[in-house]
Structure 1
Amino acid sequence: MTAITLPRAIETFVAATNAHDAKALEAAFAPGATIVDAGTTFATEAELREFFQVHLVNPKIVLTPTSYEDGRLVASGDGDFPGGPLSFAFTFGIDDDVITDPVIEPV
């Protein structure tokens, strides 16, 4: 399998997700960041914290990157949820090594 080279901000996001570390996830995002997940927007700090906890930390999501091109990461996500693993596409906005506005969609 070929190694996938990711920008630092995305490496940080994947590592924090796989470590189930909500504080590290928060630190990976720029102030004022938004997340769009399957059409739902999470925009406030409280909404982002809840998103990290409910969608990444609590279900113990582990992301395995399968491809990366032009700001779009495709990864297999597995954890404590029915039907896994599932594939997701993450289209990232990045500024100064932090994430600004990812869009997450099932693949």
Structure 2
Amino acid sequence: MPVITLPEAVETFVATTNAHDGDALFALFAPGATVIDDGATFATDEEIRGFIKAQLVDPKVVITPTSYEDGRLVASCDGEFPGGPLTFAFVFTTKDDAITHLSIDVA
């Protein structure tokens, strides 16, 4: 399998998700960031923290990148949720190594 080179913010997102570190994940998001996942938009600090806990940390999601191009990470994700592993597309917008927008869809 070829080596996938990720921008620093994306690489750190993958590593901290796989470490199930909610505080470190939250620290990756810029003030005013937004997340869109499963048809819901998370825009406040409280909403983003809730998303991180409910969708990444509590189900112990492990992300295995399969491709990355133009801000779009495609990855196999497994954890304590039904139907896994599933393939998701994470579309990142970043500024100064912080995530300003993240959209997640089934790939």
Calculate the TM-score normalised by the size of structure 1: 0.98
Q: Segments of 4+ in structure 1 off by > 4 A?
A: none
**Is 1:99 paired with 2:62?**
no
Q: Which amino acid aligns with 1:2?
A: P
How far is the alpha carbon of 1:82 from its aligned partner? 1.1
* 5+ long unaligned stretches in structure 1: none
Deviation for aligned residue 1:39? 2.1
Match in the other structure for 2:44: 44
CA RMSD across the alignment: 0.6
Structure with the higher fraction of residues in strand conformation:
2
* Structure 1: distance between partners of 2:27 and 2:86: 25
Corresponding residue pairs, total = 107
Q: Is the partner of 2:31 in helix, strand or coil?
A: coil
2:26 is equivalent to residue 26 of structure 1: yes
Q: Partner amino acid for 2:60?
A: K
Corresponding residue of 2:35: 35
Match of 1:11 in 2: 11
Q: What is the alpha-carbon distance in structure 2 between the residues aligned to residue 8 and residue 72 of structure 1?
A: 14
Q: Which residue is equivalent to 2:80?
A: 80
Unaligned runs of 5+ in 2: none
Q: C-alpha deviations, 1:26-81, integer Å up to 9, x for none?
A: 11111110000122100010000000000000000000000000110000100001
